[in-house]
Amino acid sequence: MASPTCTRQSDKENKDDTASSSCFKKTVVLYDWWLIKAEKYFQGKWLAVAGNTSREQQALRVFTSAPIVKRYDVFSPETADGIYVFVKGFINKLRTTANGFTSEFFNHFWFGFPPNWECFAVNFYDGESAAGPVLRKLPNSNGLS
């Protein structure tokens, strides 16, 4: 994963010669978002996110992420290529189910990425076919599919 671009500036006016630094990380905000299967896998991870980066009355731009590798909070996953994604609002159910996800899987991501998002992705993934991951139903609370 690429490291963030950091800039470092010395404060020459400061008598104790301390330095300050700031990091600018690649970020994208999705106003309408949905789950997808990534085009390329990263360390066995395949769950990715796509969505509109602009609001309704602006030019439409659609972002498609690399696989999600980390979650900072319910609205802030990070991708394999080092991009921080911020999801706003509820998941787009129609587009998520159109990408092969069941309603059962979708319901776990209603507000964003739950703390145990990786467990859902692993339990939902059942190998790989030529078309990508083969998705299966999650077991319900009593262990039955």
- Quote the pTM value: 0.70
Contacts of 104 (CB under 8 A, 6+ apart): 137, 138
| pLDDT tens, residue by residue, 10-66 | 444 445 555 666 677 899 999 999 999 999 989 989 999 999 998 877 788 899 999
Across 2-6, 21-25, 103-107, the highest mean pLDDT is recorded for 103-107
Distance from the first to the final alpha carbon of the chain:
36
Rounded to whole angstroms, the Cα distance separating 76 from 70 reads 9
Q: Is the pLDDT of residue 6 over 60?
A: no
Q: What is the mean pLDDT of residues 131-135?
A: 45
Average pLDDT over all residues of the chain: 78
**Domain residue spans in the chain?**
25-135
E strand segments, 56-123 = 62-64, 68-73, 76-79, 84-87
Rounded to whole angstroms, the Cα distance separating 106 from 96 reads 7
